[in-house]
């Protein structure tokens, strides 16, 4: 419950202006998921909106964020129980317990950024449950439920791309449960308006997504599947499916997604093992199809499980090979199948099976607690990641960043140097090492490292920005201005280089340039309080009280408890 912010959560929450200072409600639906210049294939406005809700209530206290995740998980357990009770009421409680306690779900629940899967699953379950019960409704009530389903479907899409799965689940459910006397076309005609509403929701989502993701960006991580030749890609997908199944059946060891990306990389994983996995899948598929034709419950659950894995099976490109959090929704179908199997065995082995189930649930609970404990402390979490994936530079860099934030400079330096040993051309760690040196009192070493990072990547805006700040702090203002201007040119939507330029210009008594930089910074980021303060002080100095009052009002809105406010107010004429 009190776990620290980890990895992506720094960018998505602690460093995200949209979470902390949204200018309007519509901004949540018109911007991409990841802030900054990172190329984004993700559009998840509801998740960002939920982070903003937490920020408004909890600021940097993680407890409220974790509590939100737990509440959604509990709601998903309840919806899962209500859904499964419609099919096999005798096994619903056991299936819900398996779903609630399965260790593989720890990442999705214990990690704040796992909220994407929690919210998407919540709206899929809600839509699906309403889709089932609406058959027994009529008149106005039926219309209201169908409208609610359409809204819930849209909210699921706004949570994660897997929200599209409800459309397939609804269709499969209608096909599987259709009366023998009716064709699928007749069923579709009965639900034509309902499916039309779902397609309208999908259109709204795709339209807003296109707006949000439009624009130039720089490349992000390449897709895992792109490293394989075309003939081998179906084999890789089959092997990934089997690994997902293995994690559900035997959830040990649990590891970060980078572990699996390295494990299944073409350099490390033999082709013949991919071929064996493909053979197993080819053998299994005819049995599943045959079972489905005979209305076999295991075949139905197997199809649902495979369908729920489609978005993370590399049919659409994604960076990691797989991730445990991706199993949040598929684990529900596994829990159903496992509970059904236990129920069928219970008829012959009731007493011994009851003991085995109790032991299994206890083991799952212990494993879940042990796994969740790693998310309670950033150092334990990253050390565990570094232990499991020692050759992954990103984890050393993340561990170093956390040491740097805690002012453990020696430890931070060790991790950044380790990341650079793994990849000498890793400018992010080079910049972070430079910041460590500067904060440890070695500005010359920091400047040397930043120049080296710029030589490796001349277009790395952060390197120019940090070099400009350090040069300014050491009195080399002209050189600092040059670096800050470059940083601003490379990253024109970043207000920080403009503010740093304004500070230098104000020191050099170039007030017009300072005002221009500050106005541009505030145009980009109206929430930038340091820029607001400096611009206000310049307005007061120039006796431009109309501008000063407008800036003061904005300051009061953003930071009403700021102690500097009262002092500034007395400087403005009534």
- Express the helix, strand and coil content of the chain in percent, nearest 5 each: 75, 0, 25
Give yes or no for a contact between 453 and 431, defined as CB atoms under 8 angstroms apart: yes
CA dihedral (180, 181, 186, 188) in degrees, to 10, reads: -20
Got the DSSP string for 354-413? HHHHHHHHHHHHHHHHHHHHTTS-HHHHHHHHHHH-TT-HHHHHHHHHHHHHTT-HHHHH
Q: Which of 94-108, 190-204, 305-319 has the lowest mean pLDDT?
A: 305-319
Residues of the chain with CATH 1.25.40.10: 393-491, 492-574
Q: pLDDT confidence of 351, banded at 50, 70, 90?
A: low
- Ramachandran angles phi, psi of 313, nearest 5°: -105, 10
Tell me if residue 218 falls in helix, strand or coil: strand
Got the DSSP string for 222-289? PPGGGGS-GGGHHHHHHHHHHHHHHHHHS--S---HHHHHHHTSTTTS-HHHHHHHHHHHHHHHHHHH
Measured at the CA of 284, the angle between CA 283 and CA 287, to 5 degrees, comes to: 105
Measured at the CA of 336, the angle between CA 331 and CA 338, to 5 degrees, comes to: 90
Q: List, for residues 436-451, the tens digit of each pLDDT value.
A: 999 999 999 999 999 9
Tell me the average pLDDT across 264-283.
88
Distance CA 47, CA 54 (A): 11
Q: pLDDT confidence of 95, banded at 50, 70, 90?
A: very high
Q: Is 82 exposed, middle or buried (0-12, 13-18, 19+ CB in 10 A)?
A: middle
Report CA-CA distances (Å) from 282 to 103, 225, 276, 289, 400.
29, 20, 10, 11, 45
pLDDT above 70: percentage of residues in the chain? 96
Closest CA to 494 of 468, 513, 475, 472: 468
What crossing angle do the helices spanning 62-87 and 45-58 adopt, rounded to 10°?
130
Distance CA 262, CA 60 (A): 33
Distance CA 366, CA 95 (A): 18
Q: List, for residues 30-40, the tens digit of each pLDDT value.
A: 888 887 655 56
- Provide the mean pLDDT of the chain: 88
Q: List, for residues 78-91, the tens digit of each pLDDT value.
A: 999 999 998 888 88
Tally Cβ neighbours within 10 Å of residue 187. 16
Closest CA to 8 of 28, 29, 36: 36
Distance CA 313, CA 462 (A): 34
pLDDT computed for residue 219 by the predictor: 46
The alpha carbon of 554 is separated from its chain's Cα centroid by a whole number of angstroms, namely 31
Closest CA to 113 of 304, 275, 328, 273: 328
Closest CA to 319 of 384, 226, 382: 226
| 10 pLDDT higher than 70 | yes
Q: List, for residues 54-84, the tens digit of each pLDDT value.
A: 999 988 888 999 999 999 999 999 999 999 9
Distance CA 399, CA 380 (A): 10
Q: How many residues does the chain have?
A: 574
Report CA-CA distances (Å) from 425 to 73, 374, 452, 532, 554.
41, 31, 10, 38, 43
Q: pLDDT confidence of 182, banded at 50, 70, 90?
A: confident
Q: Is the pTM of this model over 0.85?
A: yes
Q: Which of these CATH numbers, 1.25.40.10, 3.40.50.970, 3.40.50.300, 1.10.150.120, describes 492-574? A: 1.25.40.10
DSSP letter assigned to residue 6: -
Distance CA 355, CA 54 (A): 42
Closest CA to 468 of 436, 437, 435, 442: 435
Domain 393-491 fold: 1.25.40
Q: Is 198 exposed, middle or buried (0-12, 13-18, 19+ CB in 10 A)?
A: buried
Distance CA 242, CA 404 (A): 40
Give yes or no for a contact between 528 and 495, defined as CB atoms under 8 angstroms apart: yes
- Start-to-end CA distance of the chain, whole Å, equals 50
Give yes or no for a contact between 221 and 319, defined as CB atoms under 8 angstroms apart: yes
DSSP letter assigned to residue 24: -
pLDDT computed for residue 342 by the predictor: 86
Q: Where are the beta strands (DSSP E) in 514-559?
A: none
- Ramachandran angles phi, psi of 181, nearest 5°: -75, -10
């Amino acid at each position: 419950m009190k776990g620290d912010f980890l990895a992506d959560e720094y960018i998505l929450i602690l460093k995200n202006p949209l979470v902390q200072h949204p200018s309007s409600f519509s901004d949540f639906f018109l911007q991409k998921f990841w802030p900054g210049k990172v190329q984004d294939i993700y559009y998840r406005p509801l998740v960002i909106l939920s982070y903003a809700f937490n920020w408004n209530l909890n600021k940097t206290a993680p407890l409220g964020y974790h509590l939100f995740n737990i509440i959604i998980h509990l709601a998903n357990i309840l919806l899962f129980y209500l859904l499964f009770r419609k099919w096999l009421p005798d096994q619903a409680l056991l299936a819900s317990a398996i779903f609630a306690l399965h260790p593989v779900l720890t990442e999705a629940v214990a990690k704040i950024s796992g909220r994407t899967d929690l919210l998407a699953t919540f709206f899929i379950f809600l839509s699906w449950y309403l889709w089932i019960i609406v058959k027994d409704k009529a008149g106005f009530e039926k219309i209201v439920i169908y409208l609610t389903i359409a809204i819930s479907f849209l909210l699921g899409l706004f949570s994660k791309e897997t929200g599209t799965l409800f459309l397939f689940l609804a269709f499969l459910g209608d096909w599987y449960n259709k009366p023998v006397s009716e064709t699928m076309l007749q069923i579709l005609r009965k639900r034509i308006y309902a499916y039309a509403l779902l397609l309208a929701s999908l259109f709204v989502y795709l339209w807003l997504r296109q707006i949000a993701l439009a624009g130039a960006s720089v490349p992000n991580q390449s897709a895992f599947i792109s490293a394989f030749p075309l003939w081998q890609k179906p084999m890789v997908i089959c092997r990934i499916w089997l690994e997902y199944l293995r994690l559900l059946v035997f959830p040990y060891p649990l590891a970060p997604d980078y572990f699996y990306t390295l494990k299944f990389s073409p350099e490390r994983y033999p082709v013949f093992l991919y071929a064996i996995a493909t053979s197993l899948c080819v053998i299994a598929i005819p049995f599943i199809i045959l079972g489905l034709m005979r209305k076999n419950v295991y075949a139905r659950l197997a199809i649902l499980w495979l369908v729920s894995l489609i978005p993370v099976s590399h049919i659409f490109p994604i960076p990691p090979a797989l991730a445990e959090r991706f199993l949040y929704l598929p684990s529900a179908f596994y829990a159903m199948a496992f509970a059904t199997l236990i129920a069928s065995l219970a008829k012959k082995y009731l007493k011994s099976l009851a003991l085995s189930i109790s032991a299994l649930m206890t083991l799952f609970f212990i494993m879940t607690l042990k796994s969740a404990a790693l998310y309670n402390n950033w150092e334990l979490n990253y050390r565990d990641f570094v232990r499991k994936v020692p050759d992954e530079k990103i984890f050393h860099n993340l561990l170093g960043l956390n040491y740097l934030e805690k002012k453990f400079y020696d430890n931070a330096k060790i991790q950044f140097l380790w990341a650079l040993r793994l990849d000498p051309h890793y400018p992010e760690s080079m910049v972070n090492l430079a910041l460590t040196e500067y904060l440890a009192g070695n500005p010359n070493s920091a400047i040397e490292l930043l120049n080296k990072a710029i030589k490796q990547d001349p277009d790395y805006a952060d390197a120019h920005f940090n070099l400009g700040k350090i040069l300014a702090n050491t009195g080399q203002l002209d050189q600092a201005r040059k670096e800050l201007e470059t940083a601003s040119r490379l990253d024109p939507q970043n207000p920080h280089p403009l503010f740093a330029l304004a500070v230098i210009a104000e020191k050099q008594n170039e007030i017009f340039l300072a005002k221009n930089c500050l106005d541009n910074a505030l145009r980009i980021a109206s929430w930038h309080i340091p820029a607001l303060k400096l611009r206000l002080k310049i307005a007061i100095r120039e006796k431009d009280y109309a501008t000063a009052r407008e800036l003061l009002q904005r300051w009061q809105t953003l930071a009403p408890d700021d102690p500097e406010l009262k002092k500034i107010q007395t400087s403005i004429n009534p």
